[in-house]
Amino acid sequence: MNIHAQAAAETDKDYESAEIAHGISPRHIGEVVLEVRNISLRFGGVKAITDVSFDIRDGEIRAIIGPNGAGKSSMLNVINGFYHPQDGEIWFHGKKRKPLKPHQIAQQGIARTFQNIALFKGMTTLDNIMTGRLTMMKSNVFWQAIWQGPAQAEEVRHRETVEKIIDFLEIQAIRKTPVGKLPYGLQKRVELGRALAAEPKLLLLDEPMAGMNVEEKEDMCRFILDVNEEFGTTIALIEHDMGVVMDISDRVVVLDHGEKIGDGTPDEVRSNQEVIDAYLGVSHD
């Protein structure tokens, strides 16, 4: 066998067969996990989102792109319940979702990171990531107060999971550092860790690579791809770096002025005239 052909798994198909050969189950994109139908969101007279529909499939990386003010972050806020749209429905796991509070939606398995880092500045890296496990911690006030039995056992059990995430994200050295003291790139990584600790079914990333240099971006891309492949987590991300978006995402939805103007694979979106117009501008005459 030609050794070069084996080493360079150029196409997805080669990659997949290589994975099967090594006993790794290949990436599998399944059913629709989350579907937004005809969402409209207004703040007074300002229309943030108008009649947008799209779906996210199990196991895929779904990018949401668009120029500034297109309504991308508002869309994520709608999905995790921070905004309540005036019109439209959200279907999650084949069921129509009632209007819920953000913490109830977190219980259902949707986690997210923020555009401007929203870590708990007074807490250490470890504590920040441990907060991601809060939805899974159940021991009552009594056991918490005496710190014996279930409370301690639970703490240790979740600590083990959190340590795996710390290993995965390669942040062992800053385990006990207060996050306020960390550089920007590491803070972004800790925030990803906090979201991962919740073991989400759907992970929403709001500009995970904003303000990073090329190396940090590469690291972050690697983590996102690894999360998707190893844990099979479905990811929806907002990103401005087109190179990154076109490289890592399976499907892309394009918003502009709150409306959907494109939806499809990166190649389809790239050749969509409306998308090109929205990004490059078009002469109005």
Partner 1 sequence: MFYRETGDFKTSYAGDIQTFPLALDRNRFWIVVAFAFLVVPFFVNSYWEKAVLLPFFIYALAAIGLNILTGYCGQVSLGTGGFMAVGAYACYKFMTGMDIYIPMGGGEYYEILLPPLNIAACIFLGGLTTAFVGILFGLPSLRIKGFYLAVATLAAQFFLVWLFNKWEWTYNYSATGQITATETSLFGILITGPNTEPWATYLFCLTFLFIFGWIARNLVRGRIGRQWMAIRDMDIAAEIIGVNPLKAKLTAFAISSFYIGMAGALYFAVWNGAAEPTESFAIDKSFDVLFMIIIGGLGSIFGSLIGAAFIVLLPVLMKNLLVGMLGWPTDIAEYLQLIVVGGLIVFFLIKEPHGIAALWRTIKEKLRLWPFPY
Contact 190, 129 (CB under 8 A): yes
Does residue 199 bind partner 1 (CB under 8 A)? no
Contact residue for partner 1 among 40, 50, 139, 272 (CB under 8 A) = 139
Does residue 146 bind partner 1 (CB under 8 A)? yes
How far CA 204 is from CA of 57, 181, 183, 269, in Å, comes to 13, 25, 22, 21
Nearer to partner 1, 113 or 263 (CB): 113
Mask 175-194, x = binds partner 1 (CB under 8 A)? -------------------x
Amino acid of residue 121: K
Nearer to partner 1, 50 or 131 (CB): 131
Phi, psi angles (nearest 5°) of residue 16: -65, -45
**Strands 251-256 vs 259-264: parallel, antiparallel or unpaired:** antiparallel
Q: How far apart are CA 44 and CA 78, in angstroms?
A: 16
Q: Least distance (Å) from partner 1 to the CB of residue 170? A: 20
Contact residue for partner 1 among 63, 106, 221, 253 (CB under 8 A) = 106
φ/ψ region of 94 (left if φ > 0, alpha if ψ in -120 to 50, else beta) reads left
Does residue 82 bind partner 1 (CB under 8 A)? yes
**Contact window for partner 1 (CB under 8 A) among 15-23, 49-57, 87-95, 122-130:** 122-130
Q: How far apart are CA 105 and CA 201, in angstroms?
A: 11
**Contact window for partner 1 (CB under 8 A) among 24-32, 83-91, 96-104, 222-230:** 96-104
CA 5 to chain centre: 34
Cβ neighbours of residue 35 closer than 8 Å, sequence gap 6 or more:
53, 54, 55, 56, 90, 91, 92
Question: What kind and span of H or E run contains 84?
Answer: none
Contact residue for partner 1 among 67, 102, 232, 264 (CB under 8 A) = 102
Number of Cβ within 10 Å of residue 277's Cβ equals 13
Amino acid of residue 41: L
Nearer to partner 1, 119 or 252 (CB): 119
Does residue 115 bind partner 1 (CB under 8 A)? no
Contact residue for partner 1 among 87, 147, 218, 222 (CB under 8 A) = 147
Question: How big is the chain, counted in residues?
Answer: 285
Number of Cβ within 10 Å of residue 157's Cβ equals 13
Contact residue for partner 1 among 71, 132, 258, 266 (CB under 8 A) = 132
Q: How far apart are CA 123 and CA 176, in angstroms?
A: 9
**Contact window for partner 1 (CB under 8 A) among 42-50, 128-136, 214-222, 273-281:** 128-136
Contact residue for partner 1 among 20, 24, 134, 282 (CB under 8 A) = 134
Does residue 235 bind partner 1 (CB under 8 A)? no
Which parts of this chain interact with partner 1 (CB under 8 A)? 80, 82, 101-103, 106-107, 111-112, 114, 118-123, 127, 130-132, 134-135, 137, 139, 141, 144-147, 151-152, 154-156, 159-160, 163, 194-195, 198
